[in-house]
Amino acid sequence: MLDRAAIQGLIPHQGAMCLLETVLAWTQDDIACRGRSHLAPDNPLRRGGRLSAMAGIEYGLQAAALHGALRSQAPLPPGWLAALRGVTLHVTHLDDPTLGQLQVAAQLIHGDAGAMIYDFALRAEDTRLLVDGRATIALQRPAA
């Protein structure tokens, strides 16, 4: 199990922008994380005092970035969101205390030196599905 400090050592997201607090488990194919940053008043994704369910996509992307770093045993080169597919927001906001700790899962569908494709899901502590979808992340290629 990895804590927040270890997570920040593997992904570029630092300070309040690091949304994940714990890695519960991971394999070569998937990762399970959790966090409570959705309740933090200083969450940088809040707008007008609320945290839209759209922010759940960023939780999924951070889980994917963390998984990629764990698989390669080092931080990955910079990546950019290239595409989102099949994203469903099952709620409107994530800043509801009744959600408890968020469960964030990402599953690697495809990965190579140039891109990664992940399915992701964000669930409430009671396992209710909040946000899910698929993301394609393009990776910066090393200089020749």
- Whether 79 is in a domain gets the answer yes
Task: Please tell me the pTM assigned to this model.
Answer: 0.94
CB count, 10 Å around CB of 97?
8
Q: Comparing C-alpha atoms, which of 140, 57, 67, 58 is closest to residue 109?
A: 67
Q: What DSSP string runs through 22-58?
A: EEEEE-SSEEEEEE-GGG-TT-TT-BTTB-BTTHHHH
- Whether 34 is in a domain gets the answer yes
- Residue type, position 35, single letter: G
CATH of the domain at 62: 3.10.129.10
- Whether 144 is in a domain gets the answer no
Per-residue pLDDT of the chain (144 residues; tens, 9 = 90+): 899 999 999 998 899 999 999 999 999 999 999 999 999 999 999 999 999 999 999 999 999 999 999 998 877 777 899 999 999 999 999 999 999 999 999 999 998 888 999 999 999 999 999 999 999 999 887 665
Q: How far apart are CA 75 and CA 70, in angstroms?
A: 8
